[in-house]
């Protein structure tokens, strides 16, 4: 089955800097790669996703890139703000079989 690895497990940046979180997946058939943000006491919230037929997608300060050949995808957050502090999860999915990375705790210091 699919195995998703996520790095780093913790990331601390200064407000205004960029943050990058990377994930690799094992099943080349996976075709959908969402990213979730989870704040304390809440469920994961879908923030951006990318399909296997797209290499890059951007939504304001957030962008995701996908390298199908290398089987890795990354989340890029620019101009980070304290409210970006949360745990971020990547996932890889084929049909409804979705596997999650272990999460990255991002701290943005003001």
Partner 1 sequence: KAGVTQTPRYLIKTRGQQVTLSCSPISGHRSVSWYQQTPGQGLQFLFEYFSETQRNKGNFPGRFSGRQFSNSRSEMNVSTLELGDSALYLCASIEVAGYYNEQFFGPGTRLTVL
Contacts with partner 1, residue ranges (CB under 8 A): 31-32, 34, 36, 41-46, 49, 51, 89, 93, 95-103
User: For residue 91, how many C-alpha atoms fall within 13 Å in the half-sphere facing its CB?
Assistant: 21
Question: 70: which 2 tokens?
Answer: 């290398």
Tell me how far, at minimum, the Cβ of 85 lies from partner 1, in Å.
18
What residues are paired with 99 via a beta bridge?
92
CB nearer partner 1, residue 13 or residue 100: 100
- Tell the residue number behind the tokens 């601390």, with chain if given: 12
Tell me how far, at minimum, the Cβ of 59 lies from partner 1, in Å.
14
């Amino acid at each position: 089955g699919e195995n998703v690895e996520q790095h780093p497990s913790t990331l601390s940046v200064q407000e205004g800097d960029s943050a990058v979180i990377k994930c690799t997946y094992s099943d080349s058939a996976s075709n959908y790669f969402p990213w979730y943000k989870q704040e304390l006491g809440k469920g994961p919230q879908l923030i951006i996703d990318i399909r296997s037929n797209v290499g890059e997608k951007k939504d304001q300060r957030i962008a995701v890139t996908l390298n199908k050949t290398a089987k890795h995808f990354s989340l890029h957050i620019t101009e980070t703000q304290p409210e970006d502090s949360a745990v971020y999860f990547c996932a890889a999915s084929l049909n409804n079989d979705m596997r999650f990375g272990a999460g990255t705790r991002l701290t943005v210091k003001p």
